[in-house]
Amino acid sequence: MPAPGRSDLDDGAPRYQLLGYLASGGMAELYFARVVGLAGFERHVVLKRIVAHHARDPEFVAMFLDEARLAAQLHHPNIAQVFDIGRMVDSYFFTMEYIHGESARALFRRCVAQQRTMPLHLVLTVVAGAAAGLHYAHEKRSPDEVPLAIVHRDVSPSNVMIGFDGAVKVVDFGIARAVTRSVETRSGVVRGKLGYMAPEQCKGEPLDRRCDVFALGIMLFELATMTRLYEAESEHGIIEALASEAPRPSARRPELPAALDAIVARALARRREDRYPTAAELILDLEQLAAQERRTMSPLALGAFMRDVFGARPEPWAELRAAADATGTGERLASAPTPTPPADGLWGSWQGALEGWLAAGGDGATAAARPDASPHPTAPTVHRPGAISAPPSRRRRWRWGVAALAAGVMLAVTTRYVTRDAPARALANETGAAVTPPAPRPSPASATLEPPRVAPTASATDAVAPAPAKGAPRRRRANAAKPAHDCGDPDGLYPPCD
């Protein structure tokens, strides 16, 4: 986990900067992140990385990489785009498109809390958008034109995102089946959310695209009626309900047309042979129903409804930037709190109790979950734009290095200055005499040549100095190279004064 002001993605993903913690599930942790580049390039993404205690499990790592590789091949307006995949110091990550909105599950719960229903043409817009993305995935082929046979297997309201602009996108292909996956589900192992499973999926039988069509039928029923299809609270009750025919939507919301009852009944047929063979055929019937009702499936109207239900919400980077400006913390990266690893008993199935790709508990928030919806109380902060030329950890190390170098130079200069004239200063302290600093040595460029001096020779007329008396200090020969001392010996004939 990154510490405040630091990103541990420096080694594996130097372009990404973590702005806020979103959520964690049984398999991965999710962050709101930003990638920057040349000429002011900037993109906000959702970064998903495998949790540390699963990073050493080869099976979990293979599943994680399979999800990234599979989703990266899917390019459709109704599927959340995967941009990049990489490896960190001790884990793997991939980044995907950030969707500014809420999950269909969050929309369902908010409408129930507000005691309001969703207009039918907007329900059709959501389900048709999800069906279009799934049909594209079902039809996807490899570069050599081999069908990938992709089956999502976890279609549910928590894995369908609705943007505040009306965009509908399918997310979380974590347990999707495809021929290119390196890890296949073991025979008899059931994966997915029980409340949205087809009967054959609950039995552990081989699956095809029609199990995703069944899950779309449940979504259509629940959004149209604003009630759960299976009202049983236990797994046993849900399995018993699967054995019986599904109720008609008009039985719970009388104003719904009979044509919608027919569409739901075919999508929820217990025998897969009686269902829509493809999601495309379901879309055609939804469009025909909208035409009969003289309504248009409009993303713009859906976006307006989302803003009316949830209120106007700015993008999270604008909110974080405003918070950083208000608190003066624009130069700090977000403090991403360390999520507590879930217990094996509660989170043993990473797609079970967690609702959706962000696995954010009861709300089932997904990749578009705003950072303020994080279960941690610490509000993340962000950089100011333009202050992100290098990761903060590197800048801090560089500053400490320069400060240490400057301190060392100052210490060396001070030591040199203090110890340069130490002997002369000690002599001056003992004698009380002033110390004359040595004359500076002339530089070679400014030095002038002088004729050599010839030492004078003693002549016969020179007076001979008398011998010193007993006990007096002995004289010694003059040394012209020694400086004169201010102790009564201007000629320098005596030793220096003690």
Q: How many CB atoms lie within 10 A of CB 58?
A: 8
Whether 154 sits among the annotated catalytic residues: the reply is yes
Task: Give per-residue pLDDT as tens, 405-428.
Answer: 888 888 887 777 766 666 656 555
Highest mean pLDDT among 176-190, 312-326, 377-391: 312-326
Highest mean pLDDT among 78-92, 273-287, 434-448: 273-287
* DSSP per-residue string spanning 327-377: HT-TTS----PPPPPPPHHHHSSTTSSS-TTTT-GGG---TT--GGG-SSS
Q: Do the beta carbons of residue 382 and residue 330 sit within 8 Å?
A: yes
Distance CA 129, CA 200 (A): 25
pTM strictly above 0.75: no
Q: Taking all residues of the chain, what is their mean pLDDT, rounded to a whole number?
A: 73
DSSP-derived letter for residue 83 is: E
- What's the average model confidence in pLDDT over 15-37? 82
Q: What is the 3-state secondary structure (H, E, C) of 254-305?
A: CCCCHHHHHHHHHHCCCCHHHCCCCHHHHHHHHHHHHHHCCCCCCHHHHHHH
- What's the average model confidence in pLDDT over 213-230? 95
pLDDT at 398: 64
**Which residue among 154, 172, 212, 261 is the active-site one?**
154
Under the banding of pLDDT at 50, 70 and 90, the label for residue 334 is very low
Q: Are strands 42-50 and 82-87 parallel, antiparallel or unpaired?
A: unpaired
In the predicted structure, residue 51 carries a pLDDT above the cut 60? yes
- What's the average model confidence in pLDDT over 338-345? 38
Which of 448, 450, 456 lies closest to 480 in space, CA to CA? 456
Under the banding of pLDDT at 50, 70 and 90, the label for residue 295 is very high
pLDDT at 301: 97
Instruction: Name the token pair of 392.
Output: 């903060």
Q: Do the beta carbons of residue 455 and residue 473 sit within 8 Å?
A: no
Distance CA 41, CA 130 (A): 31
Task: Give per-residue pLDDT as tens, 190-217.
Answer: 556 788 999 998 888 899 999 999 999 9
- What's the average model confidence in pLDDT over 374-391? 33
Under the banding of pLDDT at 50, 70 and 90, the label for residue 259 is very high
pLDDT at 437: 55
Three-state DSSP state, 46: strand
Q: How many CB atoms lie within 10 A of CB 340?
A: 7
- What's the average model confidence in pLDDT over 250-266? 96
- 40 vs 44, which has greater pLDDT? 44
Question: What pairs with residue 19 in β-bridges?
Answer: none
Question: What pairs with residue 97 in β-bridges?
Answer: 45
Sorted by where each starts, the structural domains of the chain and their CATH numbers stand as 16-331+356-368 (1.10.510.10)
Cα angle value 230/231/233 (rounded, 5°): 105
In the predicted structure, residue 226 carries a pLDDT above the cut 70? yes
Distance CA 124, CA 240 (A): 28
Q: Do the beta carbons of residue 213 and residue 220 sit within 8 Å?
A: no
Q: Do the beta carbons of residue 184 and residue 103 sit within 8 Å?
A: no
pLDDT at 42: 84
Distance CA 186, CA 479 (A): 103
Task: Give per-residue pLDDT as tens, 58-117.
Answer: 888 888 888 888 888 899 999 999 888 888 777 888 899 999 999 999 999 999 999 999
Q: How many CB atoms lie within 10 A of CB 418?
A: 10
